[in-house]
Amino acid sequence: MSKLGAIDFPKSGYEAVIFDCDGTLVDSMPAHFDAWCEALAAYGAGGIFKEDVFFAMGGRPTRDIVVDLNEEYDLKLDPEAVALAKRDAYLKKLHQVEFIDEVADFAKSLRGKMPLAVASGGSRYVVEKTLKLLDCSDWFDEVVTADDVANGKPAPDIFLKAAELLGVAPEKCLVIEDAPPGVIAAQAAGMQVISVPMPMLNRD
């Protein structure tokens, strides 16, 4: 398991909790970064995706990131093709993914006590595979992904959709997030946000 250190989760003041998945509930960032590097290299764009940019874009849909990379580096990458290659590369590394202890323990402590959801910028296929691997799918009442909304993070759509499915007003929801786009999205949705430290890539 991966540890972040003490996180001050509030004990009251909300009626539902919405968790980001990658980098928040699970430490999947090394696997995602390696998958990005492999996918971009396969399309002749190896080396352009730096770690700081990767973390800054955390939580955003893969296709949106490819569009940004095209603009930044004057490339003509096919967003759909790169997204598919990145997904396939990540799935081969799924065995590397583990819980982030503090966040997983918080989720478990709330299980059955209030509505819980996952709201991820990933695709439903990948998110559900991740939750199934870690045997935590049944912790959550709803799972909302980039496939379910018109606009991904940092737009608020994904969190508003989760609140709607949970039947809880946005201002009564607490969001647990790690990446700037997700924090911005939760704030735009009018929700309380706890920003947890982003896990490093741990290349030791």
**Sign of the CA dihedral running 53, 56, 58, 61:** negative
Instruction: Output the CA torsion 94→30→123→152 (10° steps).
Output: 170
Query: Would you say 193 and 199 are in contact if contact means Cβ atoms under 8 Å apart?
Result: no
User: Is-catalytic flag, 34?
Assistant: no
What does the pLDDT look like over 81-99, one tens digit per residue? 999 999 999 999 999 999 9
Average pLDDT, the chain: 92
The domain 16-28+97-195 belongs to what CATH superfamily?
HAD superfamily/HAD-like (3.40.50.1000)
pLDDT score for 5: 61
pTM score, whole prediction: 0.88
The whole-angstrom separation of Cα 40 and Cα 70 is: 11
The domain made up of 29-94 has a fold known as: DNA polymerase; domain 1 (1.10.150)
* Percent over 70 (pLDDT), the chain: 95
The ranges assigned to domains in the chain are: 16-28+97-195, 29-94
Contact 117, 160 (CB under 8 A): no
| Percent share of the chain, pLDDT over 90 | 82
pLDDT digits (tens, 9 = 90+) for 17-42: 999 999 999 999 899 999 999 999 99
Amino acid identity, residue 42? A
Helices marked H in 23-78: 29-42, 51-56, 62-73
Residues with Cβ within 8 Å of residue 112, at least 6 apart in sequence: none
Task: Taking residues 120-136, report their average pLDDT.
Answer: 95
Which residue out of 20, 22, 27, 178 is catalytically annotated? 20
Closest CA to 192 of 15, 42, 34: 15
Instruction: Kindly state the tokens that stand for 189.
Output: 């949705």
- Contacts of 168 by beta carbon, 8 Å cutoff, 6+ apart: 15, 16, 115
Q: Choose among 166, 163, 77, 158: nearest CA to 124.
A: 158
- Kindly report, residue by residue over 143-174, the tens digit of the pLDDT: 999 999 999 999 999 999 999 999 999 999 99
Same fold, 16-28+97-195 and 29-94: no
